Structure 1
Amino acid sequence: MVSVSPWLLEDGVLHLNHGSFGATPASVLEAQERVRRRMEANPTRYFVGDEYQHELDTARRVVADFVGADEAGLVFVNNATTGVNAVMRSLEPSLAPGDEILITDHEYNACVNAAVVSAERTGAQVVTARAPFPLESSQEIVDAVLGAVTDRTRVLLIDAVTSATGLVMPVAELASALEPDVAVLVDAAHGPGMIDFDVSALGVSYVTANCHKWMCAAKGAALLWVREDRREGVYPPVISHGYNGGWPSSSSHFHAQFDWTGTQDPSPWLTVPDALDAVAAMHPDGWSGVRKAIRELCLTGREILLDALGIDPPAPEDMIGSIASVPVPPADHSGSEIFDPLMDALADKHNILVPVFAWPDPPERLLRISAHLYNEESHYRTLATALLAELSA
C-alpha cells in the first residue's frame, strides 16, 4: 500500500523550522479552495448575503472553544503582528509622555517595532527588561520583568513562547502581579496548538495568536482576543464600515469592526476549523496527544544537539514546548548578514532547514529546532552530524 503524506512538504529536505511559518495539511488547502470557489461563484451573494457572516461566526465559535476564550471577545486578523498593532494603536490615546511600554529582550522584532512606533507617536518610551538566557527557572523571568516595572508602566508586551530562545514564558504569574494596573498584551504566535493554552486562565487583557503555525491553518489566519473590560476603544489597524455600524451584520460593534476591513480573501479564517480537525485526526488522542508527542520529540532533539555540542541545557524542560534553542559557537563573520552563514550552509549543503539567530548580539548566536508530526528522531541526529561538520570546517 502506498502511503500518502497529509503534508505537502518538499521531499529530500529536513523541515525543522515549523516554528517560523508552520505547515498546512493538503486537506486544509483543499477546503480553502472550496471556500474560494463558493465565493467566486457569486461574490455579491457571498459577501452581502448571510453566507460569509454565518461561516465566519461558525469558525469563530470553534476557535474560541479551542483557545478557551469567549467568542464575544475574539476576532480574526491576518497574523499576530497585526493583532499587536491593533492593540498598540488602540492604546495610544491612553499613553502620555513619560509613560512606559515594557517588553523583554526576547520579544519578536516586528512587535518591538509596533511598540516603538506607538511610543514615538505618544511621547511614551519603550523599556526593555533584560531576561537571562541560559537560565535555570522561570522565576528569573518573573524577577527580571517585575524588576523593570515602575509607576509609569502602562502595558507589558510579552511572548507566550519566545521566538529566538524558544522559552515558554510565565505569563499567568506576571499577569497576576500586574493586572489590572498594567495591561498585559500576550503575543502568543507560538501558543495555541503547541502548549496547553487557555486564554481565560491567563488573566491578561489582550491575546493575539497565529493560527497558521501550530494550529496548521492556511497562511493569513490569526486571532485577537480582548477581555470584556478592555474591548471598548479597541480598533483594527484598518478602519472600515463597522466603525459607525454601517456594515456588516456582526453580532457586536467589536466584531463588526474586525469582521470586514475591506474586500479580502477570508478563506484562511474560515478553514481554521478544518485545520484543527485535520491535525487532531493525526493522533489517536487528538490534540492532547499531538501536543505531547511533538513536545517529547522536541526535547529529544534538543538532547541530541546538546550531547553533540557537549553543553548543558540552557533552559529547564518545563520551559520548553515544541521549539527549542541551543547556543552554538560564536560566528567569526560581521553579524551584518540577513541570514547566518551556518543557516545557509545547513540548507545549501545538507538540505536542512533550521534557523540560526544572532542572539543576544553578534557574534553570539542560537540554533533553533522545531518538532511536528512530520518529524522524527533521526532528523535531529542528521542535523547534529551536519552541524558538527560545518562547525569544524
Structure 2
Amino acid sequence: MSAPLRSHWGLDPQVRFLNHGSYGACPTAVLQKQSELRARMEAEPVRFLHREIEPLLDEARGVLADFLDADTEDVSFVTNATHGVTTVLRSLRFQPGDELLTTDHEYNASRNALDFVAEHGGAKVVVAKLPWPVTSAQAIVDTVLAHVTPRTRLFLVDHVSSQTALVMPLSKLVSELRARGVETLVDGAHGPGQVPLSLRSLGAGYYTGNCHKWLCAPKGAAFLHVRRDLQPGLTPLAVSHGRNSPRTDRSRYRLLFDWTGTHDPSAVLCVPEALRVVGGLLPGGWSEVMAANRRKALAARALLCERLKVSPACPEDMVGSMAVVTLPPGYPLEPEAPLYLDPLHLRLFDEHRIEVPIVAWPRPPERHVRVSAQLYNTPDEYAALADALEALLR
C-alpha cells in the first residue's frame, strides 16, 4: 500500500485512504510548522497576538492571494467554507418576494444557511434541479438560467459538488448571471488546489474556499474573497474591535475581518507552508499536482465503471480530483444511526480497511461511491476498492 509520496503524510499505513475530499490530510512538515508557531505564540502570547500577528497575517494572505490570482486586499481568512457562506448570507438583506437560487447539488450545510436567511427575511429559495446523469456543462448552464427571474437576488453554487464531484461551469454561470444583475456566492470548499482558479478573471461577487482540503493546510484554514464593490456590505459573524477603529492605514474590510476575537491563527499562518510543501512534490508545481490528481481520478472512475458495469455520470471535462461512480443495486441499502452512514461505507472500512464515502443521492436507493485522488494514492488502492465493492454488492 506504499506510494513514493505517501511518506510526506502521517496517514495510517493500514488504511487505504480514498477520501481526501472530506477533510483533507495535512503533510507532516506543515504540521511541524504549525507546532512551531503555536510554541512561539504560547511563549509570549501578548507579543504574538497583539504585536506580531498583523504582519504575519498580511504575509500569509499575500501568498494565498497570489496562488488564487486575486488582490490581497480582497481576501480574508475564515475558519472554513461554511463560515464564509454564512458570513455572506447573514450580511445581506432580503425582502419578501426575493428569490435565492441554488441547485439540488448544493452542500447541505450551505443549503441550511440559505434556508435560514430566507425564512428570516421572507425570501424564497428556488432550486434548479440539474440533469443527472449530465451530458454537458452547457446543460447545467441552461438549467440554471431557466430558473432566473426578475426577483432573483443571489445564486449559491458549489464550485465542485460534494455529493456528485461535478466541477461546475463556474465562469459561464457567473458571467451569465451577472449580465442579468444577479451576483453569485460560490461555495468553493473543494475548489482551490483541485482545479485551476483565477478569482481575478472569474469576477464572482463572493467566493469562499477551504485551504485544509486540496491545499493540505491544517484544519481551520479557509478564506473569503469579496469583490471590491461589494465589501462595504459585509460584516463578519463576530463583530470585534475593528468596527469602531479610528485607523485609516487599512481598509474597513481589513479592520473588520482580520481580528474577530482571540483564536489560534496557526492554521491560516501555515497556508504558505502548505502551498510550498505540496507544490514542491512534483517538478511542475501546483499545475502538475492538479493535473496528476485529475488523471488519477479519471483512471479510478474508468476502472470502477468497468468493474461494476455502469456508465460514467458526467463528461471528463467536469471531473477534477474527485469522481463519483453510481453503484448497482445491492446490499446494504439502509443507513445506520447515529451517523447515518451507509452500512456499505462501514463494511468497506471494517472488513477491507478502505476509507471512502458512499453517497445516497439524490435519494435512496440510488447511491454512489466518491473517490478522491491525491498524490499519496496509488492505482492498487482503487483496484482493491473495486474488488471489495464487487464482493459486498453481490
TM norm structure 1: 0.96
Show the counterpart of 1:89: 90
CA distance in 2, matches of 1:333, 1:322: 27
Equivalent AA in structure 2 for residue 52 of structure 1: I
Counterparts of 1:250 and 1:347, CA distance in 2? 54
Give the Cα separation in 1 of the matches to 2:114 and 2:319: 26
Q: In 2, Cα distance between the equivalents of 1:250 and 1:80?
A: 28
Aligned equivalent of 2:194:
194
User: How far does residue 244 in structure 1 lie from its aligned partner after superposition?
Assistant: 1.7
CA contact (8 A) 1:80 1:209 kept: yes
Alignment counterpart, residue 349 of structure 1, candidates 344, 348, 351: 351
Specify the SS of the correspondent of 2:234: coil
Deviations 1:133-176 (A, max 9, x none): 21110111111111111111100000111101001101110111
Q: Within 5 A, what are the aligned runs for 1:122-137?
A: 122-137=121-136
- RMSD between aligned alpha carbons? 1.4
Show structure 1 runs of 4+ deviating over 3 A.
Answer: 330-337
The one-letter amino acid paired with 1:203 is G
Of 8, 27, 47, which aligns to 1:6? 8
Q: Output the CA distance in 1 between the equivalents of 2:329 and 2:20.
A: 24
SS in 1 for 2:7: coil
Correspondence 1:39 to 2:13: no
Give the corresponding residue for 1:68.
69
Q: Take 2:60 and 2:28, find their aligned partners in 1: how far apart are those partners?
A: 19
Question: What amino acid is aligned across from residue 71 of structure 1 in structure 2?
Answer: T
- The reply to whether residue 205 of structure 1 matches residue 205 of structure 2 is yes
More displaced stretch, 133-142 vs 55-64: 133-142
Q: Tell whether the 8 Å contact from 2:336 to 2:343 is kept in structure 1 after alignment.
A: no
1:154 aligns with 2:153: yes
Q: Hey, what does 1:236 align to over in structure 2? A: 236
Offset, 1:335: 4.8
**C-alpha distance after superposition, 1:95-126 (max 9, x if no partner):** 10010111100000000001000001100011
Aligned to 1:358: 360
Please report how far the alpha carbon of residue 204 of structure 1 lies from its aligned counterpart in structure 2 after TM superposition: 1.0
2:328 maps to 1:329: yes
Q: What is the aligned partner in structure 1 of residue 113 from structure 2?
A: 114
Residue 183 of structure 2 corresponds to: 183
Counterpart AA for 1:26: T
State the alpha-carbon separation in 1 of the partners of residues 305 and 134 from structure 2. 15
2:222 maps to 222
Equivalent residues, number: 386
| 1:303 counterpart = 2:302 | yes
Q: How far is the alpha carbon of 1:334 from its aligned partner?
A: 4.0
**Candidates 369, 372, 381, aligned match of 1:370:** 372
Identity %: 50
- Select between 383-392 and 249-258 the one with higher mean Cα deviation: 249-258
Query: What is the CA–CA distance in structure 1 between the aligned matches of 2:242 and 2:264, rounded to whole Å?
Result: 18
Q: SS of the counterpart of 1:225?
A: strand
Deviation at 1:246, TM superposition (A): 6.4
What is the identity, as a one-letter code, of the residue corresponding to 2:351?
A: K
Which among 6, 10, 17 is matched to residue 15 of structure 1? 17
Aligned residues of 1:156 and 1:183 also touching (Cα < 8 A): yes
Indicate if the aligned counterparts of 2:308 and 2:328 stay in contact, CA closer than 8 A.
no
**Structure 2 residue aligned with 1:138:** 137
Mind listing any 5+ residue stretches in structure 1 that lack a counterpart? none
Q: Which runs of 5+ in 2 are unaligned?
A: none
Alignment deviations for residues 331-387 of structure 1 (CA, whole Å, 9 cap, x no partner): 664457510111111011000000001100111111100000000111101100001
Q: CA–CA distance in 1 between the matches of 2:333 and 2:24?
A: 30
| CA distance in 1 between partners of 2:200 and 2:215 (Å) | 19
Q: Is the 8 A contact 1:356 1:365 kept in 2?
A: yes
Question: What secondary structure, in the 3-state scheme, does the structure 2 residue paired with 1:363 have?
Answer: coil
> Closer, same or farther in 2 for the Cα pair 1:250/1:53, shift >3 Å?
farther
Q: What TM-score, normalized by structure 2, do the two folds share? A: 0.95
- Structure 1 pair 335/148, CA: closer, same or farther in 2 (3 Å)? farther
SS of equivalent to 1:5: helix
